[in-house]
Amino acid sequence: MTGAIQPYAWGSLTFIPELLGQQPTDEPQAELWLGAHASASAMVDGRRLDEVIADDPTGVVGAAAVEEFGAKLPFLLKVLGIAKPLSLQAHPSREQAESGYARENAAGIALDAKDRLYKDDWPKPEMVCALVDSEALCGFRDPLETYDLFGQLGVASATELVGPLADVAVPADQRLASVFESLLRGEEGTAAVSEVVAAAQGLEVEGALGLFARTARELGEHYPDDSGVLAALLMNRIAVKPNQAVFLPAGNLHAYLRGGGVEIMANSDNVMRGGLTPKHVDVDGLLAILDFSPGFPGFIEPVEETPGCWRYPTPAPEFALWRLEPRESVVSVPAVDSGRALLVTDGSVVVEGGESDLPLGRGQAAFARAGEQLMVSGRGTVFVAGPGVDS
């Protein structure tokens, strides 16, 4: 299986080419799509995977997934190579996606229009498993903690803008919603960005204030006139170690900062952006789907289901993700009754049980049809993506 490269501006010049064993070019490679989304389907034996599925949905994807989601692959596997911060973004629930897609269709907005928000009628919960040390902004920090950090930074204009965060008579989510919206919409937020970034320069201290200042410096370097810099400072900053994973449900505000990893999501391209991007920004569209509850739910801890096979459990029915490490023995590929994507991220393995043994090296991928009972041997790491139903 050969994936489709997406050359977004935030992408790394080297991460995905090195994974694939290719020479870097002068064009960023942000995402490698290994799925069957209509806008960038992977290729299997010279054919688009979405066309292969259309010929025999049940035989390729599996009966349970087709019954639940229709004649399509319900998941999309990606590799991310992140060189600079992504946009402030969130993704819709299924109900929001269906209504938004229908609304934009009725309005006559072309699917490829730059201001189109809903490219399909699917939700987009997602999970990222880091391959290298990575960092991200994820969800909202406690409002009182954020107010205190702005106060410690010492920029009076910015502290005044976030003043409502300290009003404990108002529920925390309402305080965050009010301040977040005012920062994105107000010219005062844009004017205060340069002062905040200047105050953060040289502030090399430990702890929460140090991370707060570092976030301001990094975002200000790439987006010096974007009020999204201040809005992003309301968020939790997290570090994700290799093989750690983070699940992002519908409505979760997030922005990846650096690193790289394997991403699994529902088969959707619906993204609402609020800033920190040259792409289309729609503050109203983002605010309509955001969950302003403060806190970070924590990392997804992998569970060893069988020797050498770890699953990353999530509540998403559209996808499931496993990590196989056949160091000393043969490991069965899970989800036999479903179509699965296999991606080798380290070492080399042999996939056994098909028409013939298939050797795969680092960066190579394969697709397994429903019903194929496969085993993996060798010394490497293989990520396996499949539907979440009956997996």
Q: Let me know if residue 327 belongs to a domain.
A: yes
**Would you say residue 367 has pLDDT above 60?**
yes
In terms of Cα–Cα distance, which of 315, 304, 305 is closest to 389? 315
Listed residues 217, 233, 249: the one ending a domain: 233
Q: pLDDT tens digits for 215-267?
A: 999 999 999 989 999 999 999 999 999 999 999 999 999 999 999 999 999 99
Query: Looking at the structure, do residues 205 and 166 belong to the same domain, yes or no?
Result: yes
Catalytic positions, written as ranges: 273
Q: pLDDT tens digits for 316-328?
A: 999 999 999 998 7
Q: pLDDT tens digits for 120-164?
A: 999 999 999 999 999 999 999 999 999 999 999 999 999 999 999
Confidence of residue 19 (pLDDT cuts 50, 70, 90): very high
Q: Let me know if residue 316 belongs to a domain.
A: yes
The CATH number of whichever domain residue 337 belongs to comes to 2.60.120.10
User: What is the mean pLDDT of the segment spanning 277-292?
Assistant: 94
**Would you say residue 391 has pLDDT above 70?**
no
Tokens describing residue 120: 């399909």
Query: Looking at the structure, do residues 106 and 254 belong to the same domain, yes or no?
Result: yes
Confidence of residue 356 (pLDDT cuts 50, 70, 90): confident
pLDDT of residue 389: 86
Query: Looking at the structure, do residues 265 and 215 belong to the same domain, yes or no?
Result: no
Query: Looking at the structure, do residues 22 and 110 belong to the same domain, yes or no?
Result: yes
Query: Looking at the structure, do residues 112 and 47 belong to the same domain, yes or no?
Result: yes
Q: Let me know if residue 129 belongs to a domain.
A: yes
Q: Let me know if residue 286 belongs to a domain.
A: no
Query: Looking at the structure, do residues 35 and 86 belong to the same domain, yes or no?
Result: yes
Radius of gyration of the chain (CA): 22
User: Residues of the chain with pLDDT > 70: what percent?
Assistant: 99
Q: Let me know if residue 189 belongs to a domain.
A: yes
**Would you say residue 85 has pLDDT above 70?**
yes
Query: Looking at the structure, do residues 113 and 44 belong to the same domain, yes or no?
Result: yes
Q: Report the number of distinct structural domains present in the chain.
A: 3
Q: Let me know if residue 317 belongs to a domain.
A: yes
Confidence of residue 366 (pLDDT cuts 50, 70, 90): very high
Q: Which domain holds residue 176?
A: 142-233
Quote the pTM value. Answer: 0.94
| Chain-centroid distance, C-alpha 387 | 17
Query: Looking at the structure, do residues 308 and 381 belong to the same domain, yes or no?
Result: yes
Query: Looking at the structure, do residues 170 and 205 belong to the same domain, yes or no?
Result: yes
Across the chain, what does the average pLDDT equal? 95
pLDDT of residue 390: 67
Distance of alpha carbon 161 from alpha carbon 183, whole angstroms: 8
